[in-house]
Amino acid sequence: MEKLLEVKDLKTQFFTYAGVVKAVDGISFDIMKGEAVGLVGESGCGKTVTGLSIMRLISYPPGKIVSGSIQFDGKDLLSLSEKEMREIRGGEISMIFQDPMTSLNPVLTIGEQIIEVLTLHKKISREDAKKQGNRFIESCTDKISRGGYITISTSIKWWYETESYDSDCFSM
């Protein structure tokens, strides 16, 4: 199998008035193409900071990736510009956050948020994004009406990757 993600000796620190917090201190791992991986550990052990570091979403100050390397699909993520990272985030690599309430914007409809993802990462028109969003929401509604349940973040990821849906009733 081919490596998709290679993290080597990653160190992310937060510089506070009380001193330096070593949130991630030398983690290394590989993820192969086609592999599903979950990062588990105690609360506060650095799982989220590891994911945010890979996505280059650590706010500076106070946080900073101080050393290590992150290779994704042959690209050195730490050397890319912010514009290049925006092209990769969401379209090629994404993170499902622990708390969905911090992932979705309560001021915008779910439809608007789906349209934004599609227009930014799939480079399609707003009209086409709205049509695809309609089909996705309807597929979720169908599953719920048949007694099933959905986890919105997983469903969006599955739908985004496979485009497996069928319907057209979602008003935005």
The per-residue DSSP string of 99-138 comes to -GGGTS-TTS-HHHHHHHHHHHHS---HHHHHHHHHHHHH
The string of DSSP letters for 34-61 reads: T-------STTSSHHHHHHHHHT---TT
**Separation of alpha carbons 92 and 99, rounded Å:** 22
Q: Assign residue 10 a region (left: φ > 0; alpha: ψ between -120 and 50; beta: otherwise).
A: beta
* Distance of alpha carbon 14 from alpha carbon 61, whole angstroms: 8
Second-level CATH architecture of 3-89:
3-Layer(aba) Sandwich (3.40)
Q: What is residue 30's predicted lDDT score, i.e. its pLDDT?
A: 92
Task: Identify the helix (H) or strand (E) that includes residue 88.
Answer: helix 82-88
> Could you tell me the pTM of the whole model?
0.62
Residue position matching structure tokens 């911090």: 102
Question: What pLDDT, on a 0 to 100 scale, did the predictor assign at position 14?
Answer: 95
- Give residue limits of the domains in the chain: 3-89, 102-162
Per-residue confidence (pLDDT) for residue 66, from 0 to 100: 96
Q: Is the dihedral of CA 120, 122, 125, 130 positive or negative?
A: negative
Position of tokens 């309609």? 134
- 91: closest CA among 125, 123, 137? 123
pLDDT in tens, the chain (172 residues): 789 999 999 999 999 999 999 999 999 999 888 887 777 778 888 888 998 999 999 988 899 999 999 999 999 999 999 989 988 887 788 776 666 566 667 787 778 888 888 887 777 899 998 888 888 777 766 665 665 544 444 444 444 444 444 333 232 2
Tokens 């092209």 correspond to 87
Angle at 109 between CA 49 and CA 86, to 5 degrees: 40
Tokens (6 digits) for 56: 């280059």
pLDDT of residue 103: 67
